[in-house]
Amino acid sequence: MSADTEQATSTVPATDPATRAGGGSPARRLAGRSGLGAAVIGCLLGAAAALLAASATWVHTGVRDAATAGSGATAAPLAVKLGGGDLAPAIGAFGLLGLATAVALVATRGVARRVVGLLVAAAGVGVIIYAARVGLDPGPVVRSAQPVIALAPSGHPSVGPIRVSAAPWLALVGGVALLGAGLLAVAFGRAWPAMGGRYQTRSARPLDAWEAIERGQDPTVSAD
């Protein structure tokens, strides 16, 4: 009777810890290569958006000297276009950092990869702050921009209506992508596989005939 019981028990499929933890759950997928790929893509897309926005025109406005405007002069304001480099020069640097960290996420592992994730997240927060400041309230940033001050000899420019382009919002989207990639690396980076070890294992296996010929070796010659 006990033998029959043992046989019946052996036919019940065992549930391993991975299955009990939800083997197909999004969290487990993010802890594997899918998560690493998503973080790298997030870094690349976020960096590209930040760099593209940094080189675009952010604001159109007109500038006059406040002293001239107060004296009753009728001089027309000078049309001014201000770009990301004028209003938020740090965004370009954050974009370059995003590109570098995309490579670093693949090259590092363990705790170092989580540190890289913190850098990516910090870059994303920086981009979001600068972009939102210009997009939501551009007046103070425009008045303090060096090209605007240079057009007012008195040092007190009078700025006309400000028209904001889509560039700050593009930068904002890039910042969100960088922040998401960084948080993903912080949360799951230690569980991601080391890509370097994978390729080293492949190169250590014995060469077949075609690979030996491609490397200029005679496949008929024994290694001994």
Top mean pLDDT of 142-156, 188-202, 209-223 is at 142-156
What letter represents residue 164's amino acid? V
Give the residue carrying structure tokens 């870059």. 123
Q: What is the pLDDT of residue 39?
A: 92
pLDDT band at 16 (very low <50, low <70, confident <90, very high): very low
Note the pLDDT tens digit of each residue in 141-190.
Answer: 988 888 888 887 766 778 888 899 999 999 999 999 999 999 999 988 88
β-pair partners for 163: 60
Q: What is the pLDDT of residue 199?
A: 44
pLDDT band at 100 (very low <50, low <70, confident <90, very high): very high
C-alpha 80/C-alpha 68 separation (Å) is 17
Q: What is the pLDDT of residue 184?
A: 92
| Position 12 pLDDT exceeds 60 | no
| Position 119 pLDDT exceeds 90 | yes
**What is the pTM for the complete model shown?**
0.70
C-alpha 86/C-alpha 89 separation (Å) is 6
User: What average pLDDT does the structure give for the chain?
Assistant: 79
Q: Which of 50, 51, 75, 48 has the alpha carbon at shortest distance from 63?
A: 75
Q: What is the pLDDT of residue 67?
A: 67
The residues spanned by each domain of the chain are 41-56+84-147+165-189
Note the pLDDT tens digit of each residue in 51-90.
Answer: 999 999 999 988 887 666 555 555 677 888 999 989 999 9
